[in-house]
Structure 1
Amino acid sequence: MSILTKTALANFRKNKSRNVLIGIAILLTSVLLTTVPTIFFGTFRLENAAVREIYPTYHVMFRNVSEETAGKLMKDDRFTDAGLREDPAYVVTTDPDIVCGMVAVDETACWLNRVELSEGNMPREKDEIVVSRDFLETMGMTGEIGDQISLSFQTEQGGELSLPKEQEFVITGFTVDSEEVKESGKYSAMVSERFARSLLPEGKHRFRFYGCLAEVDGKSTEQITEELKAIGREYDVLETNIVPNTEMLSAIYTDSTAYFGFATFMIVIVLAGILTIYSIYYVSMLGKVQEYGKLRAIGATRRQIRSLVFREGFAVAVFAVPSGVLLGTGLGVWILRRMIYQMIPVDHILTDTIKMILREGRISLVQPWILGLAAVVAFLTVYLSLLKPMKIAGKITAVEAIRYQGDQEKKKKKERKGYRELNIRMLTITNLKRNQRRTAITILTLGMTGIFFMTVATVLNCMNEKVMAEDEIRSDIHVSIDAWVGDMMHPEREIQNIQKNNPLTEERKEQILAMDGVEDLEVGWYAGAYLLNVGELKEDDGSDLYTGISGLNEEELKECEAYVQKGSVKDPKLSQGTGVILGDGYVTRNSDLTLGDTVELEILDGDRTIEKEFEIVAVVDTPQSLLGNSFGLPADVLQGFCETDLTDDFDIYVEKSKIKDVTEAVKSLVQEEEFLEMKTYEQAYEEAKNAIGLFVYAGYGALVIFGMIGILNLINTMINSVYARKKELGMLQAIGMSDRQMIRMLQMEGLFYTFGTLALSLGIGSLAGYGLFLKMKADGMFSIKYYEYPVVPAIVLTVVVLLVQLLITYLVNSNFKKQSLIDRVRFAE
């Protein structure tokens, strides 16, 4: 073992208190560097596994592709896997609610769509078919593999169905239908390519092409999507017929926005760690430079001194980093499990699959590469923190190092000013001015933590579970149409198509009103619409922006009066059908539209569209549950424009004592209809509470660790301040300073750090918090609408900082008093 290593280890054992502080700071930094990636990447891996298990695996579907184009796409080497599907005919059923398409798919298309046979084989001949037992039962048929069934079918050409044809088919296999398929009544029967070829002449066939893009590793979801769209355009596929598998792509491939946010947070952690660890080393150097000077005097080179500082610092890191990485991994896994099991109560197939994968332990949440990367970054943080102390220790000459007290400045000599009267306040000011850089670094480190605390506390204080719940639902029970927007694979789920046969009938309304405990029921109206000729507002593909118009009854219009920002909801143009209300939604936040402007809307009314021009007569900032879309009209005016029934939701008000019974009754009623969904205020409140709880845990959890790092810096500063002045303080006590006066002096020094920290925290932190509140309000995040200053967190921060300062003063004084006055006076001689 070399002399430098022995010296470094000797210093390591000697400076226990400083090394404990540095070790804790490094440990906490390592914890954050491990916990955050464990949660971030663990969430992605769980979602990835769940998506792979339940969603189709293709990257894109091109619809309505010609035979020639399909043949070229199948040979395109930019796709690793490719398959085709054709829908040549529809089974004729006696029940209009039962639909069964006859589908011809190849093996690759089956695999990409996760279509598996429960038994049997795929059809190959013209008279072979694969069906489900549920479909046979629905059709009043029975059969096993090898049996024959007779089906009538119609082909589609040019948007019209042919006359029914009847044919005998041999069952070659069975599929199993999901509960969703059985409830919707939309079945599929698989037929052979030969059957499809026999129905239409060559050149008239239209296919759906499914493909997986090659060389996607390392690409973001946005890059993959744009590349797929570019290929589609190359083959003259219409933009509306290019359907990326967004669920799978988003879960499996990189989301640049999410990764940017993650990288930013990790950089903040590293910078905070560097600043804190560096400041601890820097402050402690004030007492160590003299020791290094003695080594220089007996022949140590600058390089050896730098190496000594480096080895001593890394001796601490060798113990702290592995401990922090292991602790951070355990903490990250615990938080992630808690998030999955308790913070996500939504009953959804993806969520349920994630919970099942986690419960069965199919995915390991501990990733060796995260542990290795966190350790490397932690050691790099320590190294960067040591650069300045190494430079300080190495560049000073032997004589300067022996005399070094940390207060030398490279400036012109000037006469030292004395004081006519020496008191505690003057002594405190003198010490703080002695090393202004040390003072500034300590206050800055603590202040940064306080700024983060106040910023996060402001946002969390403005997030209110009651406001969030009421923003989503205004009644006890909300029943609405379950429509999907922009799902090209399921056009039947578009609101205008559902409204052709609206499930929210007058009969259902009377059924609900007749339930015991129901006090009232309010009807809501809605029509889908496109906003035309607004240049800055377009969909991603450049098409007109999809929005909507809500129909408001008289009571709702009166309620809107409390939220008017401009104009009036009593304007007669509303009842005349020439005026419209603009809500504070996406359109308002992303355009210059305001009071008095004219907007052109294309209203969707079943199979037809209605173009109308309206003048904006009022701009309102209502809860989403009141005017949840961009525009609003009186209900009778909106319904008067359209032929279909625009009823969109029922808001049900119930006696508090009978909410549970009514909820179950309404739930049973809703389950009978595929296109309806239900939500309760209690459910919305719990989801909002859990969402806020997640941010509280994550936000305050990270701030507690940052705060502990900052407090360690304050402890180190106070200890080293006293350590460097032991002889000076001893002399002052020898000429008459009492213990009480010395405590007061130390308290005043601590209070300077305290008030400096609070000034930054409560000043800049409050301003930063308010700025973030305005940003989140403008973007409509977490239903934040009202600013509430975080009074309680501000008081807690003030009290904690004061108590910590008093505790540090007491501990430092207790440690100082352990030595006799003579030992203090003789210190460093």
Structure 2
Amino acid sequence: MKSYHALAWKQLKGQKLTSLLILIAVVMSTMMTTVVGQSLGILQSLREQQAGMLNGYRYATFHNLTESQTQLLASDTRISWTGDTQALGSTDLRDSGISLGLTEYEGDALTAYPAISRLKEGKLPQTANEIALSEETLKLLGHPGGIGDPITLDLSVSLLRDEETAYEYKGDFVLSGILENNYLGYSSGVVVGIAGQGSGKRLLPDKYGVYSSDFRTAHKSGFQHTVDDLANKLGLEEYQIQYNWLYLNALGIPFDEENNSPEGKSGGFSMMAVTSGIIGLLVLLAAGLVIYNILRIAVSKRIREYGTLRATGAKRGQLYLLVTEQLLLLCGIGIPAGAALGVLFAGGITDAATRLFSPDLFMAQSTEELSSLISHNSGLKWLPLLVSASITLLFALIAAMPAARYAAKVSPTVAMTAAAVRIKRNNRKSKRIRHFEAYYARLNLRRNIGRTVITILSLVMSITVFVAVQSFSGLLDASKDVEKLHLGDYAFASEKIGIPSSVMEELRNREDVAELFTLKYKLYSQDEQGKLDLRTDIILKQPFETLQIVGIDAERLNALFPGMTEKQRKSFLDGKSTLIKNTIPMTFEGKTLEGTSFAPGDRLSIGDRSFDVLGNSPAVTSSNAEFINGVQVIVYDKVYDEIIGGSSYTEVYPKLTEGADVQAFEQYLESASDQIADSRIISYRHTDKQLEESYQQIKLLAWGLIVFIGGIGLLNIVNTTYTNIHTRKGEIGMQRAIGMSRASLYRTFLWEGAYYGIIAAAVGGVAGYVCTIFVQAVATDQLAFSAFPIESVSIAALASVIACIVATCLPLRQIARSSSIVESIDAVD
């Protein structure tokens, strides 16, 4: 023997099957990390695209700017792009509760909003008298919608904060284009119409000739500092700054989110990256455990050989080197192969997802646009590839160290005499064995606790990864925050007359209604003496303030005041406490007018009731209505009835059950609406469908990744179990020598495989659930128990049990057929 290097290669060739199984584990681990690294850029780009399509490719917007201010903003070197728009006013669309907001887009400002500028017919407006509206908008206007037809709109316009009443006028236009329907505006209650350039100067007084400037900064780092500095430079107030929280979150750009993001926080790609790291670590641990398990078994088989080497003068360090070098030789083959296969699979997943479905599903206007987006982000990325290879090698070496240590610690005398195993028998009570094979399988599991634990643990990690990665896929959806802007599938409203309690009871009792949210709302304005038509000790400080009494149901309370204790909840429901939305301070002629405000712990009275202020709440309004500045006192539904003296509802939001007859429910809702003169119905089902479609592009790729990870998990299970059985040839031969039939032998090892799968499924399901909780905590910044993922755990459990049984059956069948009893006892590999 020339050197231990030659011995390492000779041992690998001598134990071909074991070497092959380790090589498979290395290849799979490298494939997984490569696919994650290559796919991450694609998924992130698609997430950014989704957010941009939903809310515009802009970082922020400055409102109420003069023309000179827009020019100053555009000339700043820290700004990479600006787009100026001018609001021409809004008009209500019949009794839909939705308004048409007419906007003039200067220059290339419209390029930031591709979702609202898709033409179905005609052309986009170019001159001051032209207009483009969606097909649904024309329908609500009662207009036939022929290209070239004149359209007159009754518009009203005001400044963002205006002391005067809105300016009302009639605008005459010519329809130049019909846009594709965009239902996303239903959540905010405003659909957009596009007017040609120069319309503002032709139609509006100079007072309303102000602009809103969308912009993107040249650098993502320091974004908030840049915005603050620009706002100070332009002399802007806080209310003039609007952040595009949806796009900023997707890009991972931190910003002043307190009053801009729906939940007062920004998640961003950093959230996804952290979660990706958790998932990647689980994958590597699973692969590392497989490598460790196989190496440990391989070292155990060669224990006499290592003892002989120690006896002939080999040092511990040389045995460390021997085991480590074997792994390095396998990694030298497996890592490049795994990386190449990973790149191919990453491209294959993307290609399959994009070729099988229409570009419309991916929010792209053509196959070319979609292919361009994918190819731009799916090219070979060497840094993730090198990181993937390095991480796999590191984890493989870490996994090999315990086996190398075990080989180095072997005493030459003990190893050569094969006395390394001590058999300790406990006194057992005699009892009836009801099923011998199952009983014998349990004895086998307990006979080598270390092997059993490592085998189960490697299976547990694969199951955990599969469960956790499914919860991870939900974090990729940028549209989920938009869905929170409305409750239920419909909004059924009546501000003046109100919806009778009898209709509410009918809705509650319907089998097709899963949830029902409600709102009661009453507005009190001050008279000339500053008094309110309500008995209360609340004194409003400013003449522009209003007092609003709002009644909500118990379900909505959790969203308005998260983290509420049970004692606080009971106090609210009993009518002893209230939530408050304070007045927004106004600035007039450079002077800030402080409004009425309440803090937690304050006390107020309305009618015969007194309330403790529990906390401050976001504004509560009926769907698509703006907050009217003032103080909102939010109380429980039934307490509202006692204060106001009525029981009718302002608005209700039914959410249908899965598989409900939508047409039948809508007919019922229309029938109920016909009985209430001023009522209206808004359907959010088109909105939710469009949001769901916007997520499909990411969901398809994410599920490709999930299936791929699941496949690797199953291969790891097969790999581990196969190794476990195949390396016990001698044991199998001995069992057959003492008279065990092949059928009984099969059943014993099948029971072992079933036990492995069942135990691993139970532990892996719980571990996956724990990982799901942590993944959700990363997304919400709040550690809380979520619904147990029964479906994914069940799939993983069933797949793991089947995989264990199959992986047990195949090598056992091969061994039993190909070897005699004597050959089985004598087998080395």
Equivalent residues of 1:34, 1:374 under 8 A apart: yes
Equivalent residues of 2:131, 2:196 under 8 A apart: no
* Gap change, CA 1:234 and 1:2, over 3 Å in 2: farther
* 1:363 matches 2:341: no
SS in 1 for 2:376: coil
* Gap change, CA 1:246 and 1:525, over 3 Å in 2: same
1:588-737 alignment runs, 5 A limit:
590-592=563-565, 593-594=569-570, 595-597=573-575, 598-600=577-579, 604=621, 615-616=635-636, 679=685, 702-723=709-730, 737=737
* Gap change, CA 1:8 and 1:526, over 3 Å in 2: farther
* Gap change, CA 1:315 and 1:558, over 3 Å in 2: same
Q: Which residue in 1 is equivalent to 2:394?
A: 380
Q: Deviations over 1:68-124 (max 9, x none)?
A: 97687567654455576667x8899xx9x9986667x5x6868878999x9xxxxxx
SS in 1 for 2:564: coil
Equivalent residues of 1:442, 1:753 under 8 A apart: no
In 2: Cα distance, 1:590 partner to 1:357 partner:
43
In 1: Cα distance, 2:80 partner to 2:699 partner:
43
In 1: Cα distance, 2:629 partner to 2:242 partner:
24
Counterpart of 2:217, as a letter, is L
* 1:267 matches 2:281: yes
Q: Which residue in 2 is equivalent to 1:32?
A: 32
Q: CA deviation at 1:803?
A: 4.9
* 1:285 matches 2:299: yes
* Gap change, CA 1:788 and 1:285, over 3 Å in 2: closer
Q: Deviations over 1:203-256 (max 9, x none)?
A: x9854344432432xx5xxx8568746864786644442222345434545512
Q: Which residue in 2 is equivalent to 1:801?
A: 804
Equivalent residues of 1:454, 1:769 under 8 A apart: yes
Scaled by the length of structure 2, what TM-score is found? 0.59
Q: CA deviation at 1:162?
A: 7.9
Q: Which residue in 1 is equivalent to 2:814?
A: 811
Counterpart of 1:557, as a letter, is R
Q: CA deviation at 1:265?
A: 0.6
Q: Which residue in 1 is equivalent to 2:601?
A: none
Counterpart of 1:583, as a letter, is E
Q: CA deviation at 1:61?
A: 1.2
In 2: Cα distance, 1:228 partner to 1:234 partner:
10
Q: CA deviation at 1:16?
A: 0.8
Counterpart of 2:808, as a letter, is Q
Q: Which residue in 2 is equivalent to 1:586?
A: 559
* Gap change, CA 1:684 and 1:757, over 3 Å in 2: same
Q: Deviations over 1:669-706 (max 9, x none)?
A: xxxxxx97674899799989999999887656533421
Q: Which residue in 2 is equivalent to 1:765?
A: 765
1:284-363 alignment runs, 5 A limit:
284-340=298-354, 350=363, 352=365, 356-358=369-371, 362-363=375-376
- The equivalent position to 1:444 in structure 2, one of 445, 457, 471, is 457
In 2: Cα distance, 1:250 partner to 1:806 partner:
50
SS in 1 for 2:24: helix
In 2: Cα distance, 1:224 partner to 1:179 partner:
34
Counterpart of 2:762, as a letter, is L
Unaligned runs of 5+ in 2: 120-125, 134-145, 183-189, 253-267, 475-479, 521-548, 581-618, 668-680
Tell me the percent identity: 14
SS in 1 for 2:727: helix
In 2: Cα distance, 1:774 partner to 1:302 partner:
42
Counterpart of 2:8, as a letter, is A
Q: Which residue in 1 is equivalent to 2:212?
A: 208
In 1: Cα distance, 2:242 partner to 2:302 partner:
67
Equivalent residues of 1:447, 1:760 under 8 A apart: yes
Q: Which residue in 1 is equivalent to 2:240?
A: 241
Counterpart of 1:375, as a letter, is A
Q: Which residue in 1 is equivalent to 2:600?
A: none
Q: Deviations over 1:293-338 (max 9, x none)?
A: 4444445444443333223223323333333333333333333345
* Gap change, CA 1:52 and 1:405, over 3 Å in 2: farther
* 1:59 matches 2:66: no
Q: Which residue in 1 is equivalent to 2:508?
A: 557
Q: Deviations over 1:716-751 (max 9, x none)?
A: 22333445x69xx66x88xxx435269857865774
Counterpart of 1:711, as a letter, is V
In 2: Cα distance, 1:485 partner to 1:184 partner:
18
Scaled by the length of structure 1, what TM-score is found? 0.59
Greater Cα shift, 446-455 or 377-386? 446-455
SS in 1 for 2:64: strand
Equivalent residues of 2:464, 2:765 under 8 A apart: yes
* Gap change, CA 1:362 and 1:793, over 3 Å in 2: closer
Q: Deviations over 1:40-91 (max 9, x none)?
A: 432223455687799855422111246897687567654455576667x889
In 1: Cα distance, 2:442 partner to 2:660 partner:
68
* Gap change, CA 1:349 and 1:361, over 3 Å in 2: closer
Counterpart of 1:446, as a letter, is L
In 1: Cα distance, 2:84 partner to 2:44 partner:
30
In 1: Cα distance, 2:288 partner to 2:454 partner:
12
Counterpart of 1:445, as a letter, is S
Greater Cα shift, 29-38 or 355-364? 355-364
Q: CA deviation at 1:436?
A: 3.5
SS in 1 for 2:63: strand
Q: Which residue in 1 is equivalent to 2:404?
A: 390
In 1: Cα distance, 2:411 partner to 2:332 partner:
30
In 1: Cα distance, 2:271 partner to 2:192 partner:
40
Equivalent residues of 2:53, 2:113 under 8 A apart: no
Counterpart of 1:242, as a letter, is I
Equivalent residues of 1:85, 1:207 under 8 A apart: yes
* Gap change, CA 1:404 and 1:707, over 3 Å in 2: farther
* Gap change, CA 1:337 and 1:429, over 3 Å in 2: closer
* Gap change, CA 1:455 and 1:526, over 3 Å in 2: farther
SS in 1 for 2:302: helix
Q: Deviations over 1:131-175 (max 9, x none)?
A: 75879x98989xxxxxxxxxx999989656789999xxxxxxx99
* Gap change, CA 1:75 and 1:29, over 3 Å in 2: same
Q: CA deviation at 1:264?
A: 0.8
Equivalent residues of 2:514, 2:656 under 8 A apart: no
* Gap change, CA 1:780 and 1:527, over 3 Å in 2: farther
* Gap change, CA 1:704 and 1:249, over 3 Å in 2: same
Q: CA deviation at 1:811?
A: 3.4
- The equivalent position to 1:525 in structure 2, one of 456, 478, 493, is 493
Equivalent residues of 1:525, 1:552 under 8 A apart: no
In 1: Cα distance, 2:468 partner to 2:352 partner:
25
Q: CA deviation at 1:286?
A: 0.9
Q: Which residue in 2 is equivalent to 1:144?
A: none
In 1: Cα distance, 2:428 partner to 2:774 partner:
53
SS in 2 for 1:64: strand
Equivalent residues of 1:579, 1:617 under 8 A apart: yes
SS in 2 for 1:215: coil
